[in-house]
């Protein structure tokens, strides 16, 4: 009887389904999903488990002070408590609000998926400094912008704000930065993303969607309860 019971226990433990489930659960627990970043079909950058039960999308601007506030207060708890475990995926989609925003967004995206979020953090952290440089632009320089093409203005904003120095911290050479600032496909992707967001009812930054539904949250304090509610509905 004892030998038979042991054999039955061994047989049960070695069933493919049991082994697979245990292995998958262990792998999911050990996996750091914050290291998984990819560009989505909609042009955003997504961090986390692509199969996460809760999918969070932020429409934000790198030149927006309210987005900087969210970055300072909500980014770390979001990533550490929700994204890393695989329960929530987090996608950032650019929503353009100004000429300088176009310039820094082109460069942040130029860094690629692997460095996008780290560079965005630094851009937000230094936002007051580079915004001040733009505000201190002379009247003559500001007037000169009116005589430039759109592409020339993007480059000029980058020069005044010294965005090349920020880009260099993340391995973007001066030559590569110029290439990205002059990339018509990159600019079109940003413009299309902003236009699509507006068509879908997004009118301010930051705006957050949870599983495709626009929320009223604009701060971490308002967003976290909505994430918990969405997770609770999925067990």
Q: What is the pLDDT of residues 107-140, one digit of tens each?
A: 999 999 999 999 999 999 999 999 999 999 999 9
Question: Mapping DSSP to helix (H, G, I), strand (E, B) and coil, where does residue 56 land?
Answer: strand
Would the pLDDT of 8 be above 60? Answer: no
Would the pLDDT of 59 be above 90? Answer: yes
Tell me the domains of the chain and their CATH numbers: 35-232 (3.40.30.10)
pLDDT at residue 10, rounded to an integer:
33
pTM (predicted TM-score)? 0.85
Q: Which of 29-33, 101-105, 221-225 has the lowest mean pLDDT?
A: 29-33
Q: Which of 10-14, 38-42, 177-181 has the lowest mean pLDDT?
A: 10-14
Query: Average pLDDT in the 62-88 region?
Result: 97
**Residues forming a β-bridge with 60:** 94
Whole-angstrom distance, CA of residue 212 vs CA of residue 147: 41
Pair 195, 184: CB distance under 8 Å: no
pLDDT at residue 233, rounded to an integer:
74
Q: What is the pLDDT of residues 161-210, one digit of tens each?
A: 999 999 999 999 999 999 999 999 999 999 999 999 999 999 999 999 99
Of 168, 157, 155, 111, residue with least CA distance to 130: 157
């Amino acid at each position: 009887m004892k030998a038979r019971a042991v054999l039955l226990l061994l047989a049960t433990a070695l069933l493919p389904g049991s082994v697979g489930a245990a292995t998958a659960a262990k792998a999911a627990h050990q996996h750091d999903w914050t290291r998984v970043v990819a560009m989505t079909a909609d042009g955003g950058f997504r961090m986390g488990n692509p199969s996460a039960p809760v999918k969070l999308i932020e429409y934000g601007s790198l030149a927006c002070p309210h987005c900087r506030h969210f970055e300072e207060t909500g980014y770390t708890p979001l990533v550490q408590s929700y994204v890393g475990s695989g329960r929530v995926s987090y996608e950032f989609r650019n929503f353009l609000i100004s000429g300088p925003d176009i310039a820094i967004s082109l460069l942040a995206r130029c860094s690629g998926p692997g460095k996008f979020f780290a560079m965005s953090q630094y851009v937000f952290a230094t936002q007051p400094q580079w915004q001040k440089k733009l505000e201190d632009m002379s009247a003559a320089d500001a007037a000169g912008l009116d005589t430039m093409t759109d592409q020339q203005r993007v480059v000029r904003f980058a020069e005044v704000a010294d965005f090349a120095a920020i880009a260099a911290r993340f391995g973007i050479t001066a030559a590569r930065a110029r290439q990205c600032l002059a990339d018509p496909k990159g600019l079109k992707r940003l413009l299309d993303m902003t236009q699509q967001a507006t068509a879908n009812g997004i009118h301010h930054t930051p705006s957050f969607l949870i599983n495709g539904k626009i929320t009223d949250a604009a701060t971490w304090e308002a967003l976290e309860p909505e994430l918990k509610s969405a997770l609770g509905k999925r067990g």
